Amino acid sequence: MSHGLLTRLGVVVAMIGLGGACAVGATPGGSSPLSTVLRLGYFPNVTHASAVVGVANGTFADALGDGVMLDARTFNAGPDVVEAIFSGALDASLIGPNPAINAFTRSNGEAIRIVSGATSGGAFLVVRDGIDGAQDLIGTRIASPQLGNTQDVALRAWLNEHGLSSDAQGGGDVSVVPQANSQTLETFIASDIDGAWVPEPWATRLIEEGGGHVLVDERDLWPSGRYVTTQLIVRTEFLEQHPGVVKDLIEGLLAVTDYVASDSPAEAQATVVEAIQLITGSSLSPDILATAWQNLTFSVDPVASSLQESANDAEELGFLESADLEGIYDLTLLNEVLRAAGRPEIPQP
């Protein structure tokens, strides 16, 4: 593991009491006296690769510049991020669609704003041999990462569309079993479940290590195959108080997005493998990562239409009281960055 990566992520990964969050280095962007700290959350996941790389190789810290310290913190689940945002312990985070929706609706539209996209794609329903269509799922046990999370909602909505019932207690035509992705791989290999709707790299691992096959590639369910997987949210108060800091962060995100989305991603992939190993203590096969990488699209476009559809599905399933997302996006700073870079702007939803 490179000395530079160790330095930037922090030699000690310390628990800080934020629902399992870890501080992975507070890195100043320059040597001037610090006036602002940006507390940024992200997950040590492949779908958060732009953040993993942006922290690890110093792109975010460099973009923030003098006078701003980056305090990067890793999380394991979206609800923990939301609680940290609500308590004022976190300023911004890469996060999935449904936790962002929950943060917005629970706070009556006050707590957060989505300021950029990060990743699209990378979710699949992987199943065992003998399951080749929706009706073959009757009587099966299918895992999702967490009750009411992004993939769980997508799975249940897809089942509904095919006339199959499921409920939060695991009943119905298909028993949906929320469990951690690492546990899902184990239970799939042990034949305790029949499949799972999971994000990368777990879908690839279920195929390569568990002998499963793809029943549904979620890209096939969306126009042009595009739907939001990861986006950047900012605490509204921080956005209002420090718009320049947020703009610099978005500039860093655009730079690292170009880097991870390049035609030669081997270096970025190696950084992700090293960083995940350092943060979690778990190793990820470079070959698995390279395969999973091909199923992801890294882009600052937040694919707003897909977020609204996810909210509609969550409301219909009873996980959300209201699907009204008016005001959740503030793409002003993103469009300033894109305009300065000579890129097409993204219409404000």
Domain presence at residue 260: yes
Residues 276 and 300 in one domain: yes
Final residue of a structural domain among 163, 196, 225: 225
Last residue of a domain, one of 225, 246, 278: 225
Query: Which residues constitute the domain of residue 168?
Result: 123-225
Q: Is there a single domain that holds both residue 101 and residue 135? A: no
For residue 348, is it within any domain?
A: no
Name beta bridge partners: 198: 124
CA distance 107 to 102: 8
| In a shared domain, residues 221 and 235 | no
* Cut 0.85: pTM above it: yes
Q: Does some domain include residue 346?
A: no
In a domain, 158, yes or no: yes
Tell me whether residue 97 is in a domain. Answer: yes
238 shares a domain with 113: yes
**What's the total number of domains in the chain?**
2
232 with 101, same domain: the answer is yes
The pLDDT assigned to 78 comes to 87
In terms of domains, do 106 and 136 share one? no
| Torsion angles phi and psi, residue 123, rounded to 5 | -120, 140
Q: Is residue 349 part of a domain?
A: no
**Residue 244 near residue 337, CB atoms below 8 Å:** no
Which has the closest alpha carbon to 13: 69, 72, 60? 72
How far is it, in rounded angstroms, from Cα 51 to Cα 257? 9
CATH number of the CATH domain containing 170: 3.40.190.10
Distance, CA of 5 to CA of 270 (rounded, Å): 11
Assess whether 114 and 127 both reside in one domain. no
Judgement on whether residues 42 and 114 belong to the same structural domain of the protein: yes
3 state DSSP class of 238 = helix
8 band by pLDDT with thresholds 50, 70 and 90: low
The verdict on residue 181 lying in a domain is yes
Instruction: Considering only the C-alpha atoms of the chain, give the largest distance between any 2 of them, rounded to a whole number of Å.
Output: 63
Please report, for residues 50, 67, 70, 334, the alpha-carbon distance to residue 30 in angstroms, rounded to integers and kept in the order given. 22, 7, 11, 23
CA distance 147 to 98: 11
pLDDT of 219 above 50 = yes
Whether residue 235 is found in the same domain as residue 115: yes
Residue 3 has pLDDT above 60, yes or no: no
> CA-CA distances (angstroms) from residue 13 to 8, 16, 50, 276?
11, 9, 20, 12
pLDDT exceeds 80 at position 7: no
What are the tens digits of pLDDT across the range 229-276?
999 999 999 999 999 999 999 999 999 999 999 989 999 999 999 999
Asked if 151 and 145 touch (Cβ cutoff 8 Å), the reply is: yes
- Pair 68, 35: CB distance under 8 Å: yes
Residue that is last in its domain, among 225, 259, 293: 225
Q: What is the pLDDT of residues 51-98, one digit of tens each?
A: 999 999 999 999 998 889 999 999 888 888 999 999 999 999 999 999
Average pLDDT, the chain: 90
Q: Hey, what are 41's tokens? A: 């959350």
Closest to 313 (Cα-Cα) out of 101, 139, 128: 101
User: Does residue 189 share a domain with residue 253?
Assistant: no
Q: Measured between alpha carbons, how far is 343 from 156 in angstroms, rounded to an integer?
A: 37
Q: How much is the pLDDT for 34?
A: 53
Whether residue 154 is contained in a domain is answered as yes
What DSSP character marks residue 126? E
Comparing CA positions, the residue from 255, 339, 291 lying closest to residue 57 is 255
Residues 208 and 230 in one domain: no
Which carries the bigger pLDDT value, residue 80 or residue 345? 345
**Is residue 104 domain-shared with residue 166, that is, in the same domain?**
no
